[in-house]
Structure 1
Amino acid sequence: MCGIAGIIKTDDVPVRQDEIKKMTDVVAHRGPDGEGFYFGKNFAFGHRRLAIIDLTDAGKQPMRYEGKNGTYVITYNGEVYNYIELKEELIKDGYVFNTHTDTEVILAAYDKWGRDCVKRFNGMWAFAIYDEKRNEIFLSRDRFGIKPLYYTKLGNYFAFGSEIKQFTVLDGWKAKLNRARAYDFLALSISDHTEETLFDGVYQLFPGFNLVYDLSTHKYALFKWYDLNDIKENKDISFDEACRMFRELLFDSVRIHLRSDVKVGSCLSGGLDSSTLVCVMNRLIDNKENQETVSATTEVKRHREIEYAQEVAKYTGVKLHVIYPTFDELSEKLQEIVWYHDMPFGSTFIFAQWKVFETARKNGLIVMLDGQGADEILAGYHHVYGPFLASLLRKLDIGRFFKEFNAISKLGYSKGLIFKLVMANLIPQMLAGKLRKLRRKESFFRSVEGASDFSFTYKNMSDYRIDMFYKTSLLPLLRYEDRDSMRFSVEGRVPYLDYRLVEFMLSLPEKYLVQNGVTKVILRNAMRGIVPDKVLDRKDKLGFETPENVWMREHGDFVLQKVKEAIELSGGLVSEKFIDYVRDFLESKIQYDRVIWRVLIFGEWIKKFDVRV
């Protein structure tokens, strides 16, 4: 895990060392173990290294490679977990390796298979390869966007990097608001769903895409190399076989995610996903007495799940570090956190994750396995009930519809709420979008040309789950994971996003996702005897949750002041009527909605990056 940077001069003037070094200095936290540079005729690469595999100087980057078909230079962030298997395949084809790094394997793979090499990689990555023969730069991002990669054009610069803040040191930089994406974040609670960011003119290379830049013509093109929509349903597989395959794939994913020359730990909330990872790790590692995990919790009972984390620790013998994030510390560090995150974030749970990775680093845990992606592949969010039940009705599976409807209601959901969730996925998308705009909280934000018009209605479970990958939940969660972990020079790994596991789970029939109102039934059945029953039989869902609603009320004056500042800074994007909405919440007239936090943090972000609105 590292930080990368690149500058291309469109006027063909050489890049000065101080220009590229400023970009790497800004992300020194991503790579405290070294820095390096490479200078071409009209471009430069920079790199900050966090040494994970092959800790010797042989792993330094940018790395130059003389292949059979050309000469290449790479700056790379990430891990290709199947590099050992790829290396063995390449050795059989006559390739010789001088290091034990996955970086050299990437270069050899590119030499042999060209741009299609990425289809053979199992991992997370964002890299740039200079191809000397073609006089072009090949940028690539992994299938699901686990690792970040941004680019922008500013004056005579075409620049790319791991974090947006790297562009703030370029000559001529001035942060300007992308009002459409700001509206999406504030009103719809979505971000990272397009190539655009909240910074006007700054783009992310979207997951599963490559970018090829011609250094002679200064033209570039984007190519989509991976698409979840290509996955076909496996109608013939039995439920028992699906559970067996899931277990095998997950164990193998965790096995290769444990490849590291530094100490590996894990994040443990006490939920199904993280508990499963801890228990699978425990089965796979030899030195079980050295296994460590970190959990964040709270004194507020309804937001606590530490008892489940403790159950897992007792069951496995793992050493458990427990931390208690507080609002006072969050408010004190707010501007610092905004800086490291680059963009506003949707909830205070980010701070719990921040503290987890801080604690990991303090305890020498340089690699941490985390459960991101499990809810997306297993349809684990409880809002799955809407599209799931609506899909049953569309299929005229009336008997099962009523069976599941009643089972869900017995889990504590009112029948009125369930009916509302179902109807939201049955009405036409255009009508759903219009009805959504009538909600009170969306009326507080000025409509903007180019804003997204999501209806959040789904014809089937496949559309719902793919949307979670690329439009709603996963991409911002991965961004938060990356920024929180890298702030403390820790590599976060997400075994549930092994593409083999993702593709397998998305190929399963819908009927295997929810049974008798219970989500994640594949995981619950597959992990019986491996994970404590007390955890497997849980029906609630929290994660590293903070008592955000309690915090907001307890610190009402702070919240109100910050919201007022945000409204003033928003350039008319947020209505002053929103203040009355916040007061209604503080006076317990309405329930808490995270839109309050989004407005607050939006204002903090504008201040920190001096954004023109």
Structure 2
Amino acid sequence: MLIEGFFSYHTVAPQACRQHDSFFLFNSGYIGVNKLAGNYPTYLVHTVDQNGDVQKLSNLREGNAEPLHLTELLSATPDLHIGVWYDADTRRLHLSRDVFGVVPFFYAHIPGKYFAFSTDIISLTRMREVAAEISINVGKIIPYCSPYHPDFVHDASSTFFSSIQSVLPGHVLTVDALECTSRRYVTFRPEKWAHLKKSEEYAEVLRSKFIKAVGHCVPDTFEPVGAQLSGGLDSSSVSSVAKRLWDGKALHTFHIVSQSGSSDESNYAEAVVNSIGSIHHLVYPPSNDLEALELSTRLYGQPEASFLSPASNLAMISSAAQHGCKVLLNGFGGDSVIGNGSELVLEAFNKQDWKGYEDLLRMRVKYFALADQYSNWDSFPDTKKYELVLQNSLYRRFSTSRDRSLGALLRLYRSLPGNLRPSPAYFLNRYVKSLFSRTTQRYQTGSNQLSIVHPEIEVLYGQKDVPTSFPTAIRSDLPASFQELFQDVFHPHVIKTQEEYFMLGNHFGVSSRSPFMDYELFELNLAIPDIVKFGDGIGRAHMRNAMKGILTDKVRLRHTKATLSSSDGHDMTMRLYDQAKHYLFDNPETWHYLDRQKFEEQVKIALNLKIPYSHKTNVYLLITRGISFAIWLDWLKKHSKNASSSLS
């Protein structure tokens, strides 16, 4: 799917530079739509032609009455992916984007000259007037290569091109010749579920809403259907519901094979396959990491958002296409949208509700798996396990405290009741052991400001006002207690990942769809109390109960979770580094923006096998993103004369 347009405010609008399946031309501009194979988002284009006649193109089901304005339509259809509405009377254009940002939507506006928009940023940069204004948004590099920078969490509108912005998810952008204004149209009202009281009631409604969300992802005419199946609770739930809904259709499941024991979930995936009878495919991680990253750069037009090599993800989507799947379901967003209730432990600690803190930890003990830290963990009695869980929990709370001055930590320690207070020797021992691990944070500045950005770039472009937090803006007037949940679901990285899924769908002819990114499903989970989610300590109890009878108990009741902070993540990163050295070290322009010494130090840390994989998550991120940025710079020079001149 491609939707784009151009409006001129000072000359007759030029003809579209590409062929479109549907095309609307009027005095000041044009709108074009291409229905590409693979992606089928909901959309509406509503405009007026040169004769004053209303022209509409949409795949929405017809309602009882024709809406008078885009806002009226959105109030009844909050999950409309893309809306384009031209008001001839006011000569204003209104663009809307769904709240989860499933479809990318970019625009460029030069007041008094033109406004251009497209769901494809590369197509947008090829418009002659836009290309003339193209330059690198250097400030965007800082949060991209600094995972603790405020913009990493807050900024959902800027792109790597200084003159191009993103339409904010859940917002309507209104444009005229002089200005653009953005207004939130989405409102979440969890109080509508206030009539639910019991855990069973929440589970029943959640079950219904989740089945409905999966059903919305696949039109009835599509066959076969594909589903990513990692073996975790989220993807397994999606696959199981999909088979239940389309029992007469072929369901293909795809599992990426892990080379590491700590991230191997194949036995859980096989349990789901045996339960639902899907046609199962094993996708072995390819070694062409650089080739995959070069492809993703050509498709996205911006540096890759992933924290690791995209090769396995591309291989899975390619495999789905080869097996005739037009839709590939996934469990993306499940952890964030559904929640798990573990926040209760932190809340009890922060409130110094020591009785509640102890009770919650005791409930959690039987679900902890600390065999990687204690070789005899499984043979320990419950009292010993609780003692170790308590010590680990307290150390995390102290080490992540906002005020870590000696006086503040002593006051916090003394506030603990005797039965929760570990010996000072324990904390001293943990502190000494952590000194070595802190070498991974050698370049922290201030509060966790890990970065590989060149110092001069940080000085010139890093000093600016912190933007309005997008997660906060979309939360609106809901209580601040929801903030962490909104930051997880509406994190700019989450939005960027979905945009990349969309572009991959256009390329491979397979639409990647995430049932968890659903308006009603998220609103319901805002209403479910954390204690219901926490259950007996297992976490995500509401989802587990909702899937009873649909998902095999081997997965439904599992309490472990795989991690990419393993040898798999390490191998991906270092293999990519070896393949991409010419991009890094044969192109000095990369180091105009990034600090070579800092980057090479991250490589040294990654190669230090004495440091656990779990302590090198940000190291792998920085190496991968440094390489991604170098590849994008090279692509940009080759494909944009204006951008190339701005680099010199």
Assess same fold via TM > 0.5: yes
Give TM class, smaller chain: 0.7 to 0.9
TM alignment of 1:226-375, pairs within 5 A? 226-228=186-188, 234=194, 237-263=197-223, 264-288=225-249, 290-327=250-287, 329-344=288-303, 345-348=305-308, 350-375=310-335
Aligned to 1:463: 483
In structure 2, relative to structure 1, the CA distance for the partners of 1:257 and 1:439 (3 Å cut) is closer
- List per-residue Cα deviations over 1:515-539 (Å, max 9, x = no partner): 4543322111211221011111222
**Contact map agreement 2:26 2:48 (CA 8 A) in 1:** no
- Residues 116-131 of structure 1: pairs in structure 2 closer than 5 A: 116-121=72-77, 123-131=79-87
- Structure 2 CA distance for aligned equivalents of residues 261 and 370 of structure 1: 19
User: CA offset at residue 577 of structure 1?
Assistant: 3.1
Q: What residue number does 2:640 align with? A: none
Q: CA deviation at 1:408?
A: 4.8
Matched, 1:44 2:37: no
Q: C-alpha distance in 2, partners of 1:52/1:559?
A: 31
Kindly report which structure 2 residues correspond to 1:95-174, keeping only aligned pairs within 5 A, or say none.
Answer: 108=66, 110-111=67-68, 114-121=70-77, 123-153=79-109, 156-171=113-128, 172-173=131-132
Structure 1 residues 603-612 or 354-363, which shifts more? Answer: 603-612
Contact kept, 8 Å, 1:350 with 1:480, in 2: the verdict is no
Mapped to 2, the partners of 1:359 and 1:572 lie a distance apart of 37
Q: What is residue 578 of structure 1 aligned with on the other side? A: 599
Give per-residue Cα distances to partners, 1:270-297, cap 9 Å, x unaligned: 2111111111122222414x22232322
Matches within 5 A, 1:19-30: 21=18
Q: 1:184 Cα deviation (Å)?
A: 1.0
Superposed CA deviations along residues 70-92 of structure 1, whole A, max 9, x for unmatched, are 9544566xx75xx3xxx3x51xx
Q: For residue 414 of structure 2, what is the aligned residue in structure 1?
A: none
Q: Please tell me the residue identity of whatever aligns with 1:494.
A: S
RMSD: 3.8
Between the two structures, name the one with larger relative contact order (CA 8 Å, sep ≥ 6): 2
Secondary structure class of the residue paired with 1:476: helix
Cα distance in 2, alignment partners of residues 557 and 551 from structure 1: 10
Alignment counterpart, residue 200 of structure 1, candidates 162, 167, 179:
162
Shift of 1:13: 1.4
Q: Structure 2 length normalisation: TM-score?
A: 0.76
| Equivalent residues in 2 for 1:181-200, closer than 5 Å | 181-188=140-147, 190=152, 193-200=155-162
Instruction: Give the AA of the match of 2:489.
Output: F
Matched-pair contact (CA < 8 Å) for 2:96–2:172 = yes
Describe the superposition over 1:493-552 as per-residue Cα deviations: whole angstroms up to 9, x where unpaired.
222222111101011222223345433221112112210111112223348999221233
* Corresponding residue of 1:492: 512
**Post-superposition CA distance 1:554-584 (Å, at most 9, x none):** 5664466555468851424435233123123
**C-alpha separation in 1, matches of 2:135 and 2:393:** 42
Work out the CA distance in 1 between the residues paired with 2:634 and 2:395. 39
Shift of 1:65: 8.6
Q: Which residue of 2 aligns with 1:102?
A: none
3-state SS of 2:135 partner = coil
Residue 159 of structure 1 and its aligned partner are, at CA, apart by 1.0
Q: Which residue of 2 aligns with 1:419?
A: 394
Amino acid at match of 2:10: D
1:15 counterpart SS class: coil
Query: Following the alignment from structure 1 to structure 2, what is the Cα–Cα distance between the partners of residues 334 and 180?
Result: 23
Read off the aligned partner of 1:333 and give its amino acid letter: A
Q: Give distance in 2, aligned partners of 1:555 and 1:196.
A: 27
Partner amino acid for 2:171?
F
Q: Distance in 2 between matches of 1:191 and 1:401?
A: 29
- Does the aligned pair in 1 maintain the 2:190–2:527 contact within 8 Å? no
Letter in 1 for 2:397: V
- Cα deviation, 1:12-41, whole Å, max 9, x if unaligned, reads 4122232xx1xx7xxxxxxxxx72322111
CA separation of 1:427 and 1:501: change in aligned 2, threshold 3 A? same
Task: Tell me the CA shift for residue 130 of structure 1.
Answer: 2.5
Identity %: 19
> What's the CA shift string for 1:167-208, capped at 9, x where partnerless?
221224464332332211111163783311222221111111
Match of 1:103 in 2: none
- Aligned pair in 2 of structure 1 residues 404, 581: CA closer, same or farther (>3 Å)? same
Alpha-carbon distance, 1:407 to partner: 5.2
Q: Please tell me whether the aligned partners of residues 99 and 169 of structure 2 are also in contact (alpha carbons under 8 angstroms).
A: yes
1:158 deviates by: 1.5
Check whether the contact 1:353–1:484 (CA below 8 A) recurs between aligned residues.
no
Task: Report Cα offsets for 1:84-106 as digits up to 9, x if no partner.
Answer: xxx3x51xx5xxxxxxxxxxxxx
TM-score, with normalisation over the residues of structure 1? 0.79
Secondary structure at the aligned position of 2:516 is classed as: helix
Question: For 1:86-101, what aligned pairs fall within 5 Å after superposition?
Answer: 87=62, 89-90=63-64, 93=65
Corresponding position of 1:101: none
* 8 Å Cα contact 1:74/1:129 also seen in 2: no
Give the distance between the partners of 1:226 and 1:371, measured in 2 at CA.
23
Q: Which residue of 2 aligns with 1:212?
A: 174
Verify the 8 A CA contact 1:388 1:461 in the aligned structure 2. no
Letter in 2 for 1:43: G
Question: Gapped runs of 5+ residues in structure 2?
Answer: 374-388, 409-442, 473-478, 638-642
* Residue 598 of structure 1, CA deviation: 1.6
3-state SS, counterpart of residue 359 of structure 1: helix
- Are the structure 2 counterparts of residues 53 and 147 from structure 1 closer, same or farther at C-alpha, using a change threshold of 3 Å? closer
Offset, 1:313: 1.5
Q: Closer, same or farther in 2 for the Cα pair 1:236/1:276, shift >3 Å?
A: closer
SS in 1 for 2:235: helix
1:143–1:543 Cα change, 3 Å: farther
For residues 72 and 51 of structure 1, do their structure 2 counterparts lie closer, same or farther at Cα, with a shift above 3 Å needed? farther
What code does the residue aligned with 2:301 have? Answer: D
Q: Deviations over 1:309-349 (max 9, x none)?
A: 2221111111122211312x222232121121232223236
Tell me the secondary structure at the aligned position of residue 210 of structure 2.
Answer: helix
Q: 1: CA distance between counterparts of 2:283 and 2:154?
A: 30
- 1:360-400 alpha-carbon deviations (Å, 9 max, x no partner): 222221122222221111225xxx85x54221234444233
Give CA-to-partner distance per residue, 1:214-266, whole Å, 9 cap, x none.
3xx45432221114488688496222211111111112222333334332332
Larger radius of gyration: 2
5 Å matches for 1:570-609? 570-590=591-611, 591=613, 592=616, 593=619, 594-609=621-636
Cα contact 2:339–2:525 (8 A) shared by 1: no
Query: Which amino acid letter does the alignment assign opposite residue 280 of structure 1?
Result: V
User: How many equivalent residue pairs?
Assistant: 554
